[in-house]
Amino acid sequence: MDHMHTKVLWAQHTELPAGWQNGKTKHDFYHLIAVYNGESTYYCDEMPIEVTSGHMLLIPPNMVHECPKESHTLMINTEIKFELLHPY
């Protein structure tokens, strides 16, 4: 039976002060954000997504996303960037 494999590229627990900015970006891997504290508006392909404590946001490969500096309070979160690999 074929199975998908996961390759973690980067993982980090961060505390981001209000006013921090993540400009528009996209990449060819998944980006998972688990929010422990704070409130923010992320924009994924220009669509606003409100996140707050307890939320998780999964951004698929090649989706343009950003978090403007005026859109969040102090954010405490864990980010994991990973690939799903098929054996073929």
Query: pTM of the entire structure?
Result: 0.87
47-83, pLDDT tens digit by residue?
A: 999 999 999 999 999 999 998 877 788 889 999 999 9
| Tens-place pLDDT, residues 12-57 | 998 888 888 888 999 999 999 999 999 989 999 999 999 999 999 9
Q: Where are the beta strands (DSSP E) in 1-88?
A: 5-16, 22-25, 30-37, 39-44, 47-52, 56-59, 65-67, 75-85
The SS3 of residue 69 is helix
Nearest to 40 by CA among 65, 74, 72: 72
